[in-house]
Amino acid sequence: MMDDARRAVNEGKDLRWLWRRLEYARLRYGTALDSVLRLVRTGKRKVQKELKALKGMLDDGVKEAFRKGAGMLGVPARKPLRRRDSYKERASRFVPVRKVVGEFLGTRIPDEERDGWNKMCERDNIKGGVATRALYWADGRRNVAEIEELVECEMEVEGVRLLEFFQRLEGMDYVRLRKEGEG
């Protein structure tokens, strides 16, 4: 996490970039810690307690890295305001729920839709593993805008737009898109 703080300074990134990177790390490592519980057969309560302590240490580490990173950048350590345009507002209203385990198979795209699909992928920066990572995060807990941020952090790309991607996948029965707040 301190690597991200140093990288922010060395590469001329801003506080918003650092916040996103550290939030991604917190979520990713927190998810990994949560997955440990699935492997436990006995003593789950004890393991849960230990995992909770570890997640607390993770949160403390993220806060400390943010504080130090902000100091190195010469700015106050305040959570940056999230800027959302009309697209991001729309994308934040939909939560994709993966129906098919595994990665997306391009062979499922009908021939007559392939050109449109490729244009959408080019326009929305869906290339180089972005689709696979997006499907990984489509677990029914995150909206499309949040998944975009996670994928951008994980793949170190910018300008990913996934709303139309998930809408098309819904048409192919890969995901179900539900409105934020629906069960």
> Residue 31 CA to chain centroid, in angstroms?
11
> 70-121: per-residue pLDDT in tens?
999 999 999 888 777 899 999 999 999 999 888 888 888 889 999 999 999 9
Average pLDDT of the residues in 54-82: 92
> 164-181: per-residue pLDDT in tens?
999 999 999 999 999 987
> 113-157: per-residue pLDDT in tens?
999 999 999 999 999 899 999 999 999 999 999 999 999 999 999
Identity of the amino acid at 147? I
C-alpha–C-alpha distance, residues 120 and 114, integer Å: 10
Domain edges within the chain: 2-73, 86-179
139: Cβ contacts below 8 Å, ≥ 6 apart: 97, 98
